[in-house]
Structure 1
Amino acid sequence: MCSLKVGVKRRKVLNTSEELLELPKNELINRILQLEAHNKQLKSIVAKQNDSKAKQDNENRKRKRPFDFSRFPKHHIAIKLLYLGWDYQGFASIEDSTNTIEHHLFAALKKCCLIESRESSNYNRCGRTDKTVSAFDQVISLTVRAAKEGDPPLEYCKMLNRLLPKDIRTIAWKPVPENFSARFDCKRRTYRYFFPRGDLNLHAMQKGAEYLIGTHDFRNLCKMDVANGVVAFERTIDKAAIEIISKSSCHKGSGFDMCEFVLTSKGFLWHQVRCIMGVLVLIGRGQEDPEIICQLLDTTTFPRKPQYCLAVGEPLNLFHCDFDLDNWIVEKSSINEVVQTLQQEWATHSMKGVMIEQMLIGLHRITDSVNLSLQSGGLLQGTQSKVYTPLSKRPTCESLETRIAHYVEKGRIEV
C-alpha cells in the first residue's frame, strides 16, 4: 500500500501588478489563455441565464417572507434515492451546468424548506457517479428540518418527489447519528454493468473477472486522478462476476440474452468499473486472453497503462450501498408512485427494444447472411480499428511517477 502523502496546492491569487511582473513570460501567457477561456465560458452561462431572468424576477417579487428555520428542530438523516442518469452530466454538481442530479436534489431541498443551504447541511454522498451513469441505491446524508414536537414526522420522500424530475426519485429515509457520513460509513459498494450477450464468450470474461478478486494496484484499470492528489491505486475487490440475468425467448442461443458484470468493493477509483469492463469486452471478443487482467494488475509487466477504450456509461448502475443501518422508513404512497413511474419507463424502453429485435429477426428470415450476434459492438466508446492491436503492443499513457513529477512542478500538488 502506498504511504505517500499528497496535498493539493492551490494556485496563488495575484492581486497587484508587481506580483504579475515577477511571473515568467510563459506562465503569464498561460494565465491569460486560461482567463480568456474562463471569460468565454462565463459569457455563455450568463447568456443562458438572461433568458429566464425576467421570469425569475417576477417570482422573486411574489416570494413570501423568508422561512424562519429557527422555529423548527433539525435532525440528521440518510436518504436513499434512485435515478436514471442517461440524460445527466453526472451526480455531482459542476460549475458550468445545472444538468446534474445534485443540482435538482438541492433545488428541491431548498424549495420545500428542508435546508437553508448546502454549506450548512452537513451533506455527504455515498458515490459520485459519472455522466450517463445511473443508480438504484445511492445514499446521501444531511441535516434537515424536522417536525415540531407532537406533530407527525415529515414525509421527506413525498415532499422531494413532488419537486424532482421523474427520473430522480427518493425511495426511503432514516434518522442517523449526527456524525454519520454517507461517504465514509459505507461498508461496500456494488456496481452492475448490464450488457447483451451478442457474440461475447462469457466463460472467458468470467475467468478474467475472477483475477480481479483480492487487493491489487489498479492504476492500469482506471483513470489516474493525480491532479487532485490521488496517488494510491490499491483497492480490494470482494466480488467480480459475469452473470446471465434474462434469456431471449425469440431466438435460441441468442445474442439478445441480457447479462451483467457485478463488481463489489469498499471503494472505487475514477472510471475503474468502465475500464475493467472495456478490457473484459476485448476478452469476450477473443481479442485478448483472460490473463491480460493479471498482466495489467502487475505494474512490472505494465508500468504504464496501454491506451484502450472505456466501456460506455449508460449500462452502468450503482446498484447497492451497504451500511450498518436497518429499519429504513418507506412511505407507502410515495413508493407506489415510484413503482408506477419505473413501470412506465420499463414499458416504453421494452416496447422499443422488442420492436427492433423483431425487425432484426425478420431480416434474418429474409436472408441467412444476417448476423444476429453483433449486439456488443456498441459497448466501447470511440471508434475501433479494423485491424486489432494487442494491448501489449499499444502506445502507453504516462507513468504514475511522471504524472506526480509533472503536477509537483506545476505546483498543483505537494509530495
Structure 2
Amino acid sequence: MGSNKVRYLIFFQYFGTKYSGVVRAPETQAAVGVGNYLEMAAQKLRPVGKVTFSISSRTDAGVHAICNSAHVDIERPPDKPSFSEAILVRALNFHLQPEPISIVKAIRVSDDFHARFKALSRTYFYRVVTGCNHTDLPVFERNLCWVASESHLDIPRVQEAAQYFIGTHDFSGFRSTHKGTPFQSPVRTLQQVSVTPSSSLLPNHNSDLQFWDFTFKSKSFVYNQVRRMTSALVAVGLGQLTPQHIKLHLEKRSTPVFPKNIVAPPSGLFLKEVEYDEEDFKCYKMEPRGRSPGHT
C-alpha cells in the first residue's frame, strides 16, 4: 500500500506583535515566526516525515493577518486515512493553543498547487489614528494602529494623493531594501488604494480620536511598500507633502522627503486577504464547503 500524502491550502490568522514575522525563524532566536508554531502543531499530528508550510505572503515582525495562507503536504502512514479538511482545522487549532494563531480553513489542492504563485491578489490595510498621543491611546488599541498625529488629517487631500498610486508604476521610491531585495523588480500594479473611516475597538471611545483604514490591493508588493505609502499619505494629510508630490516621486522614482520622514510602524498593518481562483479547488473537493476566505 502507498502512503496517504495530501497537499492542503491553509488559511490562517494571527496577532503578530510577539512574532519575528510569519516565516519560520531559527529556534535560537528570542522571538520566532508564526511558521514555527504552525509546523510544531502539524508535527504533533504524527505525520510521516517533516512538515513544512510554504507561506503565500510574508509579513514582518509586529504585522498582523486577518487572513494569510500557505500550502502544506501532510503524509500519513499507509494504514491511516488522510485528514478531512474539517478535522485538520480542528486538530491544528488544538495544538496551536495558547498562541494567538488560528486556522480559518483548509482546502485540499493538487500536488503542484503553490500558495504563493497561484495567488491572484493580496489586500492589506493600515489602521491610522489621529487626535491623541500614544500614551492616551486606549490599551486595547495598542499594537493595532499607528498614532500618527495629535492633529487630524486633511482626508480629501489624502484621498486625492492615494489615486496616484493606482495602476502600474516603478515603486523604487516607496520601498526599503534589505538583504535579497535589491534584485527584486520595483514595478508593481496596484488595483485599489482607498482611505476610509474606521472605528475603535471600544464602543464608547474618546470622540477626539479619528480612525482611518488605508487599503491597498495588488498581486504583490515590494518590501515595506505599504508602510512607506501610508507614511507618505499621512504626510500629505498633515500638509507636509502635496498630492502632486506623490505623483512627482513616482515619476522620478525617488523617496519623498518630509519632516520626521519614517516608515509607518508595523503595528498598524494587517494582511486582510489573499485571493485565489476557485477553479483550482473544484477537482479536489473532499466535503461540502462555502467560498474560500480568499474571496469576498
TM-score range normalised by the length of the shorter chain: 0.7 to 0.9
Match of 2:66 in 1: 136
Give the corresponding residue for 2:109.
176
Once the two structures are superposed, residues 17-39 of structure 1 have per-residue CA deviations (whole angstroms, 9 ceiling, x without a partner) of xxxxxxxxxxxxxxxxxxxxxxx
Within the candidate set 266, 277, 282, 1:324 is matched to 277
Moved more, 138-147 or 281-290: 138-147
Partner of 1:102: 35
Structure 1 alignment gaps of length 5 or more: 1-69, 333-415
Contact 1:90 1:130 in 2 (8 A): yes
Question: Once structures 1 and 2 are overlaid, which stretch shifts more, 304-313 or 265-274?
Answer: 304-313
Counterpart Cα distance in 2 of 1:180 and 1:244: 37
1:282 pairs with 2:235: yes
- 1:131 counterpart SS class: coil
For residues 220 and 44 of structure 2, the distance between their equivalents in structure 1, rounded to whole angstroms, comes to 33
Which residue, 147, 153, 162 being the options, matches 1:200?
Answer: 153
Distance of 1:75 and 1:251 partners within structure 2: 48
Match for residue 245 of structure 1 among 178, 185, 198: 198
The residue correspondences of 1:19-34 to structure 2 (distance < 5 A) are none
Matching of residues 235-274 of structure 1 within 5 Å:
235-246=188-199, 254-274=207-227
Deviation at 1:146, TM superposition (A): 5.3
d(CA) in 1 for partners of 2:64 and 2:205? 29
Q: TM (normalized to structure 1)? A: 0.56
The one-letter code sitting in structure 2 at the alignment partner of 1:265 is S
Shift in Å, 1:152: 7.4
Superimposed CA distance per residue, residues 33-59 of structure 1 (whole angstroms, 9 cap, x where no aligned partner): xxxxxxxxxxxxxxxxxxxxxxxxxxx
- CA drift of 1:276 comes to 0.6
1:114 Cα deviation after fit: 3.5
Residue 56 of structure 2 corresponds to residue 126 of structure 1: yes
Q: How far does residue 99 in structure 1 lie from its aligned partner after superposition?
A: 2.2
Q: 1:246, CA displacement in angstroms?
A: 3.1
Can you list the C-alpha shifts for 1:224-244, whole angstroms capped at 9, x where unaligned?
346455242000000000001
Q: Which amino acid aligns with 1:87?
A: K
Q: Structure 1's 330 and 239: CA in aligned 2 closer, same or farther, altered over 3 A?
A: farther
Q: 2:88 aligns with which of 156, 166, 174?
A: 156
Counterpart AA for 1:236: T
What's the counterpart of residue 8 of structure 2?
Answer: 77
Where 1:281 maps in the other structure, the secondary structure is: helix
Structure 1 or 2: more strand by fraction: 2
Measure how far apart 1:258 and its partner are. Answer: 2.2
TM-score (norm 2): 0.77
Conserved? CA contact 1:115–1:143, under 8 Å: no
One-letter amino acid of the structure 2 residue matched with residue 88 of structure 1? Y
**What displacement does 1:249 show?**
7.4
Displacement of 1:314 in angstroms is 0.9
1:321 deviation in Å?
A: 0.3
- The answer (yes or no) to whether the contact 2:6–2:82 under 8 Å persists in 1 is no
The answer to whether the 8 A contact 1:172-1:331 is kept is no
Aligned to 2:20: 89
- In structure 2, how many angstroms separate the alpha carbons of the residues matched to 1:117 and 1:162? 19
Q: Mind listing any 5+ residue stretches in structure 2 that lack a counterpart?
A: 132-151, 290-296
| Partner Cα separation in structure 1 for residue 58 and residue 182 of structure 2 | 17
Q: Which deviates further from its counterpart, 264-273 or 199-208? A: 199-208
Residue in 1 aligned with 2:75? Answer: 145
Secondary structure in 1 matching 2:84 = coil
- Kindly tell me: are residues 141 and 151 of structure 1, through their superposed partners in 2, closer, same or farther at Cα, counting changes over 3 Å? closer
**Which protein is richer in helix relative to its size?**
1
The structure having more radius of gyration, on CA atoms, is: 1
- Rounded Cα–Cα distance in structure 1 between residues aligned with 2:288 and 2:268: 29
Distance 2:266 2:39 in 1: 24
Give the Cα–Cα distance (whole angstroms) in 2 for the partners of residues 188 and 241 of structure 1: 16
**C-alpha distance in 2, partners of 1:84/1:128?**
14
In the superposition, relative to structure 1, how do residues 150 and 286 fare at CA in structure 2: closer, same or farther (>3 Å)?
closer
Partner letter of residue 92 of structure 2? L
Give the SS at the match of 2:252.
coil
Q: Cα distance 1:239–1:316, how it changes in 2: closer, same or farther (>3 A)?
A: same
| Contact 1:224/1:230 (<8 A) preserved | no
Q: Which residue of 1 aligns with 2:121?
A: 188
How many residue pairs match? The answer is 257
Deviates more, 1:229-238 or 1:93-102: 93-102
The within-5 A match list for 1:45-56 is: none
* Sequence identity (%): 25
Residue 80 of structure 1 deviates from its aligned partner by: 0.5
Where 1:264 maps in the other structure, the secondary structure is strand
Structure-2 change in CA distance of 1:146 and 1:175 (3 Å): farther
The question of 1:232 aligning with 2:165 is answered: no
1:92/1:266 CA distance change after superposition, 3 Å = same
